[in-house]
Amino acid sequence: MINIDMTGRAPIYEQICKGFGELIAGGVLKENDKLPGARTLAKELGLNPNTVAKAYSRLEHDGIIYSVAGKGCFVAKQQGNIQKKLMENFDAAAEAAIRAGVTAEELKARVDTVTEQNTSAKEGEQ
With contact defined as beta carbons under 8 Å apart, do 107 and 97 qualify?
yes
Alpha-carbon span 117 to 32, nearest angstrom: 30
Residue 56 has pLDDT above 90, yes or no: yes
- Residues 59 and 20 sit within 8 Å (Cβ to Cβ): yes
The predicted pLDDT at position 69 comes to 93
pTM: 0.68
Q: Is the pLDDT of residue 124 over 80?
A: no
Q: Which of 20-29, 54-63, 82-91 has the lowest mean pLDDT?
A: 82-91
pLDDT beyond 80 at 121 = no
Amino acid at 102: V
| 94 Cβ contact partners less than 8 Å away, ≥ 6 residues apart | 107
